[in-house]
Amino acid sequence: MARRETPEINAGSMADIAFLLLIFFLVATTMNIDTGISRLLPPMPEENEEQPPEIRERNVFVVLINKDDQLFVEKEIVDISKLKDLTKEFIMNPNDDPDLSEKRPETVDYFGEVMVSKGVISLRNDMGTSYGKYIAVQNELAAAVNELRNDLCMQKFGRKYDDLDPLLENENDLIEAVKKVIPMAISEAEPKVTTK
């Protein structure tokens, strides 16, 4: 029997097909990584829960955004660029100002006995406040706390707080310790209704 030779398949167009698919996936790909400000909401209060203990006036840092997106800090109109420094001053209270937050001694791992601020930031907004402004204020408050934590970490461990990796166990301990020394206590009251 004569051997029939199988004709070779022309693979010249293979590249074209592959290119076509490649271009499709190139166009369809989105490589964006989601980023944002993470927050933990407080759980819903249970019905028979007792009222939380009263907080002294000087320990509350009132930040209010009204319906026209104006920012009030402790009842005074303030530009958003100053919010970060005011927050830092309130939490640290370097000169023991009687109007700023009190401190209580506490023992924390790695730090020993330190003075921890009792201050609570109370963030209030109106129904008519724009979300953009709200996030800008949240961002400034977070920036204030993060800067304080960074400074503390730099002093104590010689590295930045942001660079600590929560997935490594020993570094996670450091993070927890720093969080205890500089807590981020933001309390969000439900907004008042003043506009529709």
Partner 1 sequence: MSRFKTARGKQVKAINTASLPDIVFMLLFFFMVTTVMRETELKITVRVPEATEIKKLEKKSLVSYIYIGKPHKVLQKTFGSEPRIQLNDQFATPDDIRDFITSEREQMDENDQKQMTVSLKIDRDTKMGIVTEVKQELRKASALKINYSSTKKIVDKRLLKK
Per CB under 8 A, residues contacting partner 1 are: 11, 14-15, 18-19, 21-22, 25-26, 28-31, 33-44, 125-132, 134-136, 138-139, 142-143, 146, 190-191, 193
Judge whether 157 and 174 are in contact, CB under 8 Å. yes
Cβ atoms of 92 and 148 within 8 Å: the answer is yes
Closest CB to partner 1 among 18 and 154?
18
Which C-beta is closer to partner 1: that of 43 or that of 53? 43
Sign of CA dihedral 63, 72, 67, 142: negative
Q: Which is nearer to partner 1, 57 or 131 (CB)?
A: 131
- Closest approach, Cβ 99 to partner 1, in A, equals 27
Least distance (Å) from partner 1 to the CB of residue 131? 4
Q: Which residue in this structure is represented by tokens 């009222």?
A: 51
- What's the min distance (Å) between Cβ of 88 and partner 1? 14
Shorter beta-carbon distance to partner 1: residue 1 or 41: 41
**In angstroms, what is the minimal distance from the CB of 178 to partner 1?**
15
Supply 14's token pair: 């293979």
Q: How do 120-125 and 186-188 pair as beta strands? A: parallel
Give the residue among 124, 127, 128 at the shortest CA–CA distance from 68.
128
SS3 category, 115: strand
